[in-house]
Amino acid sequence: MKIVIGSDHAGFSLKEFIKEHFRNSFEFEDVGTFSEKSVDYPDFAHQLATLISNGTYEKAILMCGSGNGVAMSANKHPNVRAALCWNEEIAQLARLHNDANVLVLPARYLNHDETDKIITIFFNTLFEGGRHTNRVNKINIH
């Protein structure tokens, strides 16, 4: 599966772990950042979200220190449903009920084991559809 991945400086280390750890599961397009040098998180969130919004990629992983900044930025784009997930249950529900297409991780608050579990459940959970479909269709206001 091809996915896009991005982070700010606070998420850089976790992003590099994810790319290495899941190298046999995903083909990554990394939109940056490429070091721990301080950057503005919206720049990377918008670049990643554009690739989801325009259909270049179906799913993505995005991270910053808390996850909030990149989630807020990414969710400004049409057809982007970026979900901040800090445990397996939230990740599963984000897919089941919200058809989330961008997994947002709070890099400063997750260890590698938690990250592995969250990513695994997110990418292995299908959207439940049914009563949730109409709700998901109402997310975009454009």
What pLDDT, on the 0 to 100 scale, is given for residue 133? Answer: 95
Q: Binning pLDDT at 50, 70 and 90, where does residue 140 land?
A: confident
What pLDDT, on the 0 to 100 scale, is given for residue 129? Answer: 93
Tell me which fold the domain 2-137 belongs to.
Ribose 5-phosphate Isomerase B; Chain: A, (3.40.1400)
Tell me the residue ranges of DSSP E strands in 39-114. 60-64, 82-84, 102-106
Catalytic site residue 97?
yes
What pLDDT, on the 0 to 100 scale, is given for residue 26? Answer: 98
Q: How many CB atoms lie within 10 A of CB 115?
A: 19
pLDDT digits (tens, 9 = 90+) for 41-97: 999 999 999 999 999 999 999 999 999 999 999 999 999 999 999 999 999 999 999
Q: Is residue 82 within 8 Å of 91, Cβ to Cβ?
A: no
Residue 141 pLDDT more than 90? no
> How many Å apart are CA 95 and CA 57, to the nearest integer?
16
Residue spans per domain, the chain: 2-137
Q: Binning pLDDT at 50, 70 and 90, where does residue 142 land?
A: low
State the DSSP H helix or E strand holding residue 7, giving kind and residue range, or none if neither.
Answer: strand 2-7
Across the range 109-113, mean pLDDT stands at 98
Catalytic entry in 9, 46, 77, 97: 97
The overall average pLDDT reported for the chain is 97
- Angle at alpha carbon of residue 136, lines to 133 and 142, rounded to 5°: 130
Q: How far is CA 47 from CA 32, 54, 63, 115, 127, in A?
A: 9, 11, 13, 23, 25
